[in-house]
Amino acid sequence: MSTTLKLFTTDTPTLSQDVDVAGDAWQTTCDKPQTFRLFEVPAPGVEAGTVSYRAKLKSEGLTGRAYLEMWCRFPGRGEFFSKGLANVVTGTNDWVSCEIPFLLKQGEQPDLIRLNLSVAAAGLIFKKAVAGKLWIKDIALAFQPGP
């Protein structure tokens, strides 16, 4: 059974200054490929299971691809990531539920988890311009112990 480690509401300021509160969500306008640093969760106290970053995304006229990105930092080992490239938002979409996992083995205890929203250029032309609006809401970090 999954346990919610942390829920984020619009009362919680994001790390990125490029993200604004819009009703019950955060909103940003994209004009280039970039990563929006949203939140950090220090010392989450998890090991041997799956950490999940969940959120809902909405887009308007987005010419790039938006997806969730989670980084886990391990003492003495560095940072490792999980990217939601299999679940991207592009064009104009109503709210879409997205989730990305990060598998933790026995003995792996991150001391920091970073939650981001990334926007990449569409297709194989990575320097292509990106434009459009994005919204994100219902951000949660959950954990399910492994077997």
- pLDDT tens digits for range 59-86: 999 998 999 999 999 999 999 999 999 8
Token pair 């887009």: residue: 59
Does the pLDDT of residue 123 top 80, yes or no? no
Q: Where are the beta strands (DSSP E) in 25-123?
A: 25-30, 34-42, 49-74, 78-83, 89-104, 112-120
Does the pLDDT of residue 129 top 90, yes or no? no
b/e per residue, 54-93, with b = 16+ CB within 10 A? Answer: bbbbbbeebbbbbbbbbbbeeeeeeeeebbbeeebbbeee
- CA atoms in the 13 A half-sphere facing the CB of 119: 27
Contact 27, 135 (CB under 8 A): yes
pLDDT of the residue at 128: 65
Does the pLDDT of residue 125 top 80, yes or no? no
Provide the whole-model pTM: 0.92
Lowest-pLDDT range of 30-34, 126-130, 137-141: 126-130
pLDDT of the residue at 121: 84
Average pLDDT over residues 27-56: 95
Which residue ranges form the domains of the chain, and what is each CATH number? 3-145 (2.60.120.260)
Residue 146 binned pLDDT confidence (cut-offs 50, 70, 90): confident
Average per-residue pLDDT in the chain?
A: 93
Average pLDDT over residues 14-21: 95
b/e per residue, 118-136, with b = 16+ CB within 10 A? Answer: bbbbbeeeeeeebebebbb
